[in-house]
Amino acid sequence: MKTKLIDRLRPLMLGAVLLSGAAHAAPQSLDRVVAIVDNDVVMQSQLDQRVREVQQTIAKRGGGVPPAGALEQQVLERLIVENLQLQIGERSGIRITDEELNQAVGTIAQRNGMSLEQFRAALAHDGLSFDDAREQIKREMIISRVRQRRVAERIQVSEQEVKNFLNSDLGKMQMSEEYRLANILIPTPEGANSEAIQAAARQAGGVYQQLKQGADFGQLAIARSASENALEGGEMGWRKAGQLPPDFAKMLSSMSAGDVTQPIRIPNGFIILKLEEKRGGSESVLRDEVHVRHILIKPSEIRSEAATKELAEKLYDRINSGEDFATLAKSFSEDPGSALHGGDLNWVDPDSLVPEFREQMADAKQGVVTKPFRTQYGWHVLEVLGRRATDSTEKAREQQAMSVLRNRKYDEELQTWLRQIRDEAYVEVKLPGADQATQ
């Protein structure tokens, strides 16, 4: 194995960095609180473990490894924000069942081409226990659901916004250009005066000069950036031009891979972008679509997870015994959008569906009902009625534009929300040498 499994899992997990729980650090003779976060705490053992993980990640990239002291405040801030989201999940009643967790772990193992036992062995080879990996995945699933409830659900995109976007130069550009980006954010305080803004501008200018002199972008992001993805070297992943502010998209269109921008003033500071890769340039002609129907059964306060699964299995058996799928869907399915139509979702773009549903649909043989499977919405059985490749229609273009605009708004809203919950929380940092910030 040329790379550690933790590197191969990172893009498959819900977040870019594996989360670590308080109970997973090696036993310490002395442990202490390094931050009080509302009704919870961050322990020194948690901080030490996460710092080690970050150092290992940097080392595997081939760069120089910063000392632990240089990373502690950056890592601690990440742990604080994660802790706040987990507390919100706890108060909101978000729970990850063992079945959901087992399914997620199994999916990750499968995507790596491993059985569960091979997955266990590979984790042990990389120095990570199977129980730790399960806990990390569980925490990321909780955070993802918190964000879905608090951020994604309040994002609205109007039909007029879609039309305006498609008619704009930027909308046309995003159909043909896509960028893989990294960033360094030098923040300014809310309501900053001119002196604070000038100080941030000087700091950003200093970082830019270091980059021009050959400094490693990823290491500078880890050490200096205040962006949420700082500990991943500032990596943002792929972005369509339409997901970016117009000035950014215009600037990137004339850049080459490896180029960095000068510091750009944004509402909450100064940002430096690096163009890692660029792709696109030719419009897609064909779109894969699947005609599918399903029955959804949801757990509830009066129906346990086990009872929900059992009902889905009984419906599966009844269909295989000859009962009509559509009739059962009308009687039992709890998807209001499709139940009245016998569970029919009509022709759908696989990319518009949640990963578990998409994967089951991709593996299903046409005309054969799948065994019950779990998604975040509940238990499903599905049947693929047809597959086709169609010309990209106006409706497909509108759906793509809708997705781009939602993603753009989500990125902006997520950063605003994370800053809001951090500002509103009571946080007392007890790390030696750090400011004792209490809010």
pLDDT, tens digit, 9 for 90 and up, residues 400-435: 788 888 888 888 889 889 999 999 999 999 887 665
Same domain, 266 and 181: yes
Residues 119 and 141 in one domain: yes
Give kind and range of the element (H or E) at residue 24: none
Q: Select from 414, 413, 409 the least CA-distant residue to 162.
A: 409
- Per-residue tokens: 118: 């091979």
295 and 363 share one domain:
yes
Asked if pLDDT for residue 16 goes beyond 80, the answer is no
Q: Are 44 and 61 in contact (CB under 8 A)?
A: no
pLDDT above 90 as % of the chain: 46
Helix 217-224 × helix 68-91 angle, to 10°? 60
Give yes or no for residue 19 having a pLDDT over 60.
Answer: no
Q: Are residues 229 and 295 in the same domain?
A: no
Choose the final residue of a domain: 279, 312, 327: 279
In the block, tokens 């070297």 appear at: 233
Report pLDDT digits (tens) over 306-357.
999 999 999 999 999 999 999 999 999 999 889 999 999 999 989 889 999 9
β-sheet with 235-240: strand ranges across: 235-240, 177-187, 269-280, 264-266
| 398: Cβ contacts below 8 Å, ≥ 6 apart | 162, 166
6: pLDDT confidence band, cut at 50, 70 and 90?
Answer: very low
For residues 279 and 177, give the distance between their C-alpha atoms in angstroms, rounded to a whole number.
6
Sheet holding 33-37, edge to edge: 40-43, 33-37, 427-429
CA distance 49 to 55: 10
Which domain covers residue 110, as residue numbers?
33-153
What is the domain-level CATH number for residue 146? Answer: 1.10.4030.10
| 3-state secondary structure at position 437 | coil
Alpha-carbon distance of 392 to 385, in angstroms, equals 21
Q: Looking at the chain, how many residues does it have? A: 439
41 and 121 both lie in a single domain: yes
Q: Which CATH number is 388's domain given? A: 3.10.50.40
Nearest to 207 by CA among 267, 273, 277, 268: 273
173 conformational bin, left if phi > 0, alpha if psi -120 to 50, beta if neither: alpha
Among all chains, which residue has been given the structure tokens 């879609």? 162
pLDDT at position 281 over 80? no
CA dist., res. 299 & res. 304, Å (int): 6
- Burial class, 7, CB count within 10 angstroms (exposed 0-12 / middle 13-18 / buried 19+): middle
Residue-level pLDDT at 332:
95
**398 is a domain residue:** no
pTM of the model: 0.52
Q: Is residue 48 part of a domain?
A: yes
Please compute, for residue 383, the number of CA atoms within 13 A of its CA located in the half-sphere on the CB side: 17
State the DSSP code for 260.
B
**What was the pLDDT predicted at 168?**
85
pLDDT surpassing 70 at residue 26: no
- Tell me which residue has tokens 């008619």: 167
For CA atoms 151, 153, 157, 158, give the dihedral sign.
Answer: negative
Domain count of the fold of the chain: 3
Average pLDDT over residues 37-60: 88
Average pLDDT score over residue span 141-167? 88
| Mean pLDDT across the chain | 85
Residues 341, 250 share a domain: no
The residue among 279, 300, 329 that closes a domain is 279
pLDDT band of residue 253 (cuts 50, 70, 90) is confident
pLDDT at 408: 83
Are 222 and 121 within one domain? no
Average pLDDT over residues 38-50: 91
Are 282 and 177 contacting, i.e. CB atoms less than 8 angstroms apart?
no
